[in-house]
Amino acid sequence: MRIGLILQEMWAGIRSNITMVVSIILVAFVSLTFVGVTMLLQAQVGLMNSYWAKNAQVAIYLCTDYSPETACPTGIATDGEKAAVKAQLDSAAVSPYVESYAFEDQAQAYEKFVAEFGATGTAQYITADQLNEAFWVNLKDPNQSDLLVESFSGLGGVEEVRDQRSYLDGIFAFLNAASLMGAGVAAVMLLSATLLISTTIRLSAISRSREIGIMRLVGASRFSIQLPFILEGVVAAAIGGLLSVGATLAIVKYFVADFLATSLAFTSFVGIDDALRIAPYLIGIGIGLAVLSSAISIRRYLKA
């Protein structure tokens, strides 16, 4: 059978079934958007993991005059205590795990603070002597921060040892929970899209049973009889897939790039390129499901 005729038959099917086809498009659109968002969340988790694996440091904060008594009973860290911390970092027990470290005095800490929060904001009420001096340590393996916490926490003049990544635990937990939820919703929605497609294809076949009967009797091949119906589901799902690509691009552009990335500067975010990278998967999943469900349902109908 010629392609033109197959497309014509497919179009006739879509027209006679337009409300069902529209509902396939919508359900495919919503479900694939959930798939897309879930994939973006996972991409974001991966991005943050690798960003912080490279950039995360462990800070050994030294006592200031303003440090709480419990952590710093002797007040501000003395030069001797600083030297002891430095000696510990250089010691045979610790140095094999340390990639590099740098000392940051109160003036440098103040500069960094101003750079991060601006000179007009909180920085007006903060003076350099309120900020901690610190050793910033880059570990060879960022997962071994416990080791530093253990060996430095008790040391004199040390207020706190903190892995920067601990600030992110909550964010990771949130992102993973959101991914899980997105995946769950996506799975349910995809299932309903599949059921909707097979019902629609069956209705379409019933409404054209006379054509199908004639095609069978005059010896049209099984493939050419089934193809218009399969294409009908595929076209609807592909349109839904395209819409979901548009939706994920819009989410990345207007929510992530224009809003999150400008207001939260602590990490890099997924971008348009990530959204474009998942686009083929969204369309592919949509088309794959449509082929599968419509092929199964039309085959079952034609056998009966």
Q: Which residues bind another protein (CB under 8 A)?
A: 1-2, 5, 210-211, 213-222, 224-225
Kindly give the residue spans of alpha helices, DSSP state H, lying in 118-208: 145-153, 169-207
Please, how many CA atoms are within 13 Å of residue 235, restricted to the half-sphere of its CB? 20
Structure token pair of residue 188: 């349910």
Task: Output 93 or 217, the one with its CB closest to another protein.
Answer: 217
Cβ neighbours for 200, distance < 8 A, ≥ 6 positions apart: 17, 20, 21, 23, 24, 232, 233, 236
CB of 223 to another protein, least distance (A): 9
Task: Output 216 or 300, the one with its CB closest to another protein.
Answer: 216
Task: Output 1 or 94, the one with its CB closest to another protein.
Answer: 1
CB of 214 to another protein, least distance (A): 6
- Only one residue has tokens 């959204």, namely 275
Task: Output 54 or 303, the one with its CB closest to another protein.
Answer: 303
CB of 302 to another protein, least distance (A): 10
Identify whether the C-beta of residue 135 lies closer than 8 Å to the C-beta of residue 152: no
Closest listed residue to residue 88, CA positions, set 275, 119, 97, 186: 97
CB of 26 to another protein, least distance (A): 29
CB of 204 to another protein, least distance (A): 15
Task: Output 92 or 218, the one with its CB closest to another protein.
Answer: 218
